[in-house]
Amino acid sequence: MTQRERAKSDVANHMRTMGEDPNAKPVAAARRALIDPTSRVPLYHQILIILRNQIFSGELRPGAALPGEQELAERFDVSRITAKRALNELADAGLAVRERGRGTRVADVPPAPTIKTSVEGWLENISLMGVATDVEVLEFDYVPALADVAEALLVAQGATVQRTVRVRSLDGEPMSHLVTYVPEDIGRSFDRDDMGNFPLLTLMERHGVKVADARQSVSATLAEPEVARALAIHAGSPLIDVKRVVRDVNDRPVEFIRVLYRPDKYQFEMNLKRVRRREGMQWQSLGPDTSGRADEK
């Protein structure tokens, strides 16, 4: 039996184990389930993301053999050139090793570390992020507040606000893209160098601001070209999108921030407990886990 025949046999046996019919055009079914040919994200990059996620999740362990170009091409119903580029990009990212005559395997080095945080506890720890990461200030200026910023900070549209754009890196690799807005009177109390060396909440507290609470939303988005360049990823890559409005003890909005996180560098964790309510059994959050939090300031 040839290597290709053995590979096809392994796939068929796996599909039978999963209760699928190996004769029912499995390649087309896999393509529809795993990649989207109508997406703006290139096909090779969609395959790259699937393989990368399998590596980060531990499904593919260091040293494990990866599917070859032909197998990937058949599995996802793409050209061999597309499959080859996906594997080359995986190798360029340091996650795989390609050897002529021996195929492609997962790199022996572990994946880059990630920052873990609880969804509820982003405002408590202002030290871990500053110690574990580096920050680069891309922009620092004073601009007229657009409609969304004016609404968040409760200022008139067109009022001057201080705007900063930063990129935070973990172990030399960009992990988050931050855009912050603060009222002008607060923003005038620090400069560009300060924003590169201190968390924003620390700078505001030095100005006398007493932060009391915040409201935030979490969603997902795709990286626009400018953000993609800053985070060293491909345009169209998925990102975690966080928006937050911070208020002081007088209920005045003192900061509006939007953070875009690379999901391979940042993870959310929650502690849940099963409790009985009048409506029935429900999950209840136990609050932040202080063992591994990080915050963006």
Q: What is the pLDDT of residues 141-197, one digit of tens each?
A: 999 999 999 999 999 999 999 999 999 987 778 989 999 999 999 999 999 999 998
- β-pairing, 133-144 with 160-170? antiparallel
Is 82 among the domain residues?
Answer: yes
Is 292 among the domain residues?
Answer: no
The Cα–Cα gap between 38 and 58 comes to 29
Is 296 among the domain residues?
Answer: no
Per cent of the chain over pLDDT 70 is: 74
Is 142 among the domain residues?
Answer: yes
Q: Are residues 239 and 262 in the same domain?
A: yes
Residue that terminates a domain, selected from 81, 106, 131 = 106
Is 224 among the domain residues?
Answer: yes
- How confident is residue 295, by pLDDT bands cut at 50, 70 and 90? very low
Range of 95's domain? 3-106
Report the pLDDT value the prediction gives residue 188, as an integer from 0 to 100.
94
Give the pair of three-digit tokens for residue 131.
Answer: 């110690």
Q: Are residues 102 and 125 in the same domain?
A: no
Does the pLDDT value for residue 90 go beyond 80?
yes
Does the pLDDT value for residue 130 go beyond 60?
no
Report the pLDDT value the prediction gives residue 125, as an integer from 0 to 100.
41
Cβ neighbours of residue 11 closer than 8 Å, sequence gap 6 or more = 22, 26, 75
Is 291 among the domain residues?
Answer: no
Q: Write the pLDDT tens digit of every residue in 213-257.
A: 899 888 999 899 899 999 988 888 889 999 999 999 999 999 999
Does the pLDDT value for residue 131 go beyond 60?
no
Give the pair of three-digit tokens for residue 155.
Answer: 């200022």
Contact 199, 284 (CB under 8 A): no
Report the 3 state secondary structure along 120-146.
CCCCCCCCHHHHHEEEEEEEEEEEECC
What is the pLDDT averaged over residues 79-99? 89
Per cent of the chain over pLDDT 90 is: 36
- How confident is residue 14, by pLDDT bands cut at 50, 70 and 90? very low
Report the pLDDT value the prediction gives residue 111, as an integer from 0 to 100.
56
For the chain, the average pLDDT equals 78
Q: Are residues 60 and 143 in the same domain?
A: no
Contact 220, 39 (CB under 8 A): no
Q: Are residues 19 and 77 in the same domain?
A: yes
Cβ neighbours of residue 167 closer than 8 Å, sequence gap 6 or more = 135, 136, 138, 174, 176, 177, 178, 230, 231
The strand ranges marked E within the chain are 96-99, 103-106, 115-118, 133-144, 160-170, 173-183, 211-222, 238-248, 253-261, 266-269, 272-277, 280-285
Q: Are residues 145 and 78 in the same domain?
A: no
| pLDDT higher at 296 or 64 | 64
Cβ neighbours of residue 296 closer than 8 Å, sequence gap 6 or more = 122, 129, 168, 176, 178, 242, 257, 259
Q: With the C-alpha atoms ordered 26, 29, 35, 38, is the resulting torsion angle positive or negative? A: positive
- Output the domain CATH number for residue 19: 1.10.10.10
Residue that terminates a domain, selected from 84, 106, 128 = 106
Secondary structure of residue 72 in the 3-state scheme: helix
Q: Write the pLDDT tens digit of every residue in 37-60.
A: 877 678 888 888 888 878 877 788
The Cα–Cα gap between 171 and 23 comes to 47
Report the pLDDT value the prediction gives residue 269, as an integer from 0 to 100.
67
The Cα–Cα gap between 170 and 113 comes to 8
Number of compact structural domains in the chain: 2
Is 268 among the domain residues?
Answer: yes
Residue that terminates a domain, selected from 82, 106, 130 = 106
Report the pLDDT value the prediction gives residue 52, as an integer from 0 to 100.
81
Q: Which of 32-36, 55-59, 112-116, 190-194 has the lowest mean pLDDT?
A: 112-116
Does the pLDDT value for residue 126 go beyond 70?
no
| pLDDT higher at 86 or 269 | 86
The Cα–Cα gap between 240 and 263 comes to 6
The Cα–Cα gap between 176 and 178 comes to 6
Contact 264, 94 (CB under 8 A): no
